[in-house]
Chain A
Amino acid sequence: MNGDQVGPVGLLVSLYRQRALLAVLVARDLKARYRGTFLGYLWSLLNPLLLLAVYTAVFTFVIPARVPNSTVPYPLFLFAGLLPWLFGSGALLDAAVVLPDNGPLLKKIVCAPEVFPAVTVLSHLVHHLLALPVLLAATAVVAFLGRAVFPWTVVFLPIALLLWVVAVAGISLGVAALAVHFRDVKDLLHNLLNLFFFATPIIYPLEMVPIGVLRRVIQANPVTPLIEVYRDVVLLGRIPSPLTWAWAVGVAVVCWVVGAWIFSRLRETIAETV
């Protein structure tokens, strides 16, 4: 552990310096994850595909659902919101245990603790990127069938995804550091994620929420703009308003700064406590 005070910027610098190690560790995670499975990396593609198939079946035949004011099929709408959400919540849940899991390394080898939450987020990002073609292909199929126009706005996806990654990475850092000291964080996180899942327009479009207090609450939810910009550009073919963009950028930056700040405050105590 080198350097006394590492702020949010210092953490970024530290991670950048260790990019080679990060790459190797992410590769290790991915290799380890599918080791011994017959289909290997295909699972990264198959999992979202099967998920999409199930949703399509359920929301077409069992509970026919539609997206108001849009021709986009509901299962695809749900899928486009669910993919980034699963990436984020998966990364956070893993971040809550990543430092204790790597306790031997932290205690027995000198290494920078921020590497581990970063690796968690990056591994989940890789899985997300592997699942993304399923979404794009499904969108293309729907466009081909004439149900919707292929969203050319997808060129903005890298920006929307970057904002989401920055936010998730920041919160992951904070959660990882706090979870070392407070084992309750993991359970708390589970419940918070559940709450936010329903408080964010993922399974329903924002327009379906009756105008009033409830919609204000959902609009004020900081996760909302991040998911909205993502789904707008990747599926709905809308360019979010500058206000939504600004709101999303603000949330991402604040998440990073706060999370990284918590982490850098507790950084020294991590190796002693895990």
Chain B
Amino acid sequence: MTAVRLTGVSKRYPMLSRRGRLHSLKGALLRGEFWRLQQESGGFLALSGVDLEVGRGETVAVIGPNGSGKSTLLKLVAGILRPTQGSVEVNGRVTALIELGAGFHPEISGRDNAIVNGMMLGLSRSEILRRLPEILEFSGIGEFFDQPVKTYSSGMYVRLGFSVAVMVEPDVLVVDEILAVGDQLFAHRCLDRIARLQRQGTAILLVSHDLGLVEQLAHRALYLRKGSPVLTGAAGAVVARYRSDVASEEEGVQVVGGSARRWGNGAVSLDDVALVSTDGRPMRLLSSGESATVRIAYTVRVPQEDFVFGVAIHREDGTHVFGTNTELDGWRPEHLTGSGEMLLDLPHLELAPGRYLVDAAVHSQAGLAYDYACEATSFVVSAPVGWPGCYAPAHQWRPRGPAMSHRSG
């Protein structure tokens, strides 16, 4: 079920000029077209042509450099802004965590502010009163709860704001770069809470510059640049693409050959990626626990001193299963030239039945992609018994009590 659907969404902010405003007052009152005159011609196009769907229980991250329209997108979903073009559909109650503790009144107590804030977020007075003990407990503010908010430290302030916001248990949660609030302990609690909302089926749309966090929390990601979508897909791949673009900008290199599934500057190219058996034959179907090898055939166009080979396996819904690279495994790059193969042996691929997709990449240590291939190959794991999840380790039951039934057959 879709919780959020954006279709062809664009947002243009008017450039405010004194004359323009006065000029259109009459039109505004008579025809309600306060901005239209300016929208069509001038203004600043903050977002254009964004399509996005977020299902229930799904978490989608929006990433991109500053000024790429991430916050605008969140505000459109939250209903704070309206799109200039396109449509934004949201099913259910939306809570926006765009600024924690927004609108806390400094003179009144944390308790009273929590009540006001909770009601603004859509709870009834009795609902919020029932949850106050939980809010107090979660925020860890203690005796300060009944003190005016102006006496709070900034950490206490955001902790209270977060506690109130997540207690609302929204259907759609919109989060703007705020998960890194408070100390280590509170940050962990926030993540726990987010995970709980995910399990409860809350659709989460989050903006973060913490790419590690994005990979950890999000199933999918949308990469925006100057208001336009660059790539939408599995979080790991989208993050890799963004990292690559950032790295290439730092080095002043123009990224070439960018598409939704394949990008890189082409210094090294991946000619073929395949899952092969120990005797080198391609495999498409394997049984759980079998051994397999990911074989990456490459050609070097520009010899490299700095290179990392990486492989990631994920499910079709974006769930990460496994990922590693030569750097993580302690390789020191020396020299890469000519053409050859890189093999990743997986002696026991203990995966649950289902279809798996493999990404392969070769990039610099800073993340600049030479060649990044999303979903370069896929394979299917079969097993006698269907199994949810991804991991299916070898296992065995050992009965030790009396009157246990024995395994039949």
Contact = CB atoms under 8 A, between A and B. Distances in A.
Interface of A: 1-2, 20-21, 24-25, 27-28, 31-32, 35-36, 102, 104-111, 181-182, 262, 265-266, 268-269, 271-273
Interface in B182-215: none
Interface residues of B, number: 35
A27 B116 CA distance: 10
Contacts of B102: 104-105, 107-109
Given A108-B96, A110-B79, A32 B28 contact: no
26 contacts: A1-B80, A24-B115, A24-B116, A28-B108, A31-B107, A32-B107, A104-B102, A105-B102, A106-B80, A107-B75, A108-B80, A108-B99, A109-B96, A109-B117, A110-B79, A110-B94, A181-B25, A181-B34, A266-B28, A266-B29, A268-B34, A269-B34, A269-B35, A272-B13, A272-B81, A273-B16
Nearest to A2: B79
B120 interface: yes
A182 B21 contact: yes
A272 B82 CA distance: 9
A1 B78 CA distance: 9
B112 interface: yes
Given A35-B107, A266-B28, A24 B148 contact: no
Contacts of A273: 16
B96 A32 contact: no
A71 to B, nearest CB: 46
B125 interface: yes
B103 interface: yes
Interface in B117-139: 117, 119-121, 124-125
B98 interface: yes
B5 interface: no
Given A35-B148, A272-B81, A20 B125 contact: yes
Instruction: Pick the most buried of B21, B79, B119: most chain A CB atoms within 10 A of its CB.
Output: B119
Contact of B103 (A1, A105, A268): A105
B125 A271 contact: no
A21 B96 contact: no
B34 A266 contact: yes
Nearest to A33: B107
Contact of A268 (B82, B94, B124): B82
- Of the listed residues A24, A25, A266, the one surrounded by the most CB atoms of chain B closer than 10 A to its CB is A24
Nearest to A272: B81
B21 A181 contact: yes
A158 B103 CA distance: 34
Contacts of A28: 105, 108, 112, 116
Contacts of B94: 110
A1 to B, nearest CB: 6
A32 B105 contact: yes
A269 B37 CA distance: 14
Contacts, number: 87
Interface in B246-296: none
Contact of B78 (A21, A31, A110): A110
Nearest to A34: B107
Contacts of A262: 29
Contact of A1 (B16, B32, B79, B108): B79
B107 A20 contact: no
Nearest to A27: B112
A73 to B, nearest CB: 39
Interface string B71-115: 000010011111000000000001010110011010110001001
A184 B75 CA distance: 29
A200 B56 CA distance: 60
A254 to B, nearest CB: 16
Given A107-B102, A110-B78, A265-B34, 14 more contacts: A20-B119, A20-B124, A27-B112, A28-B116, A31-B108, A32-B107, A35-B107, A36-B107, A106-B80, A107-B80, A107-B98, A108-B102, A109-B103, A272-B13
Contact of B120 (A31, A105, A265, A269): A105
B145 to A, nearest CB: 15
B107 A24 contact: no
A85 B102 CA distance: 34
A251 to B, nearest CB: 21
B279 to A, nearest CB: 61
Q: 10 smallest A-B Cβ distances: which pairs? A: A105-B103, A108-B102, A32-B107, A108-B99, A108-B98, A35-B107, A104-B102, A21-B119, A110-B79, A269-B34
A264 to B, nearest CB: 9
Contacts of A2: 79
Contacts of A272: 13, 81
Of A110, A262, A268, which is in contact with the most chain B CB atoms at under 10 Å from its CB? A110
B119 A24 contact: yes
Nearest to B11: A272
A6 to B, nearest CB: 11
A182 B28 CA distance: 13
A272 B76 CA distance: 11
Contacts of B79: 1-2, 110
A32 B149 CA distance: 11
Interface string B52-82: 0000000000000000000000010011111
A35 to B, nearest CB: 5
A168 B103 CA distance: 25
A177 to B, nearest CB: 10
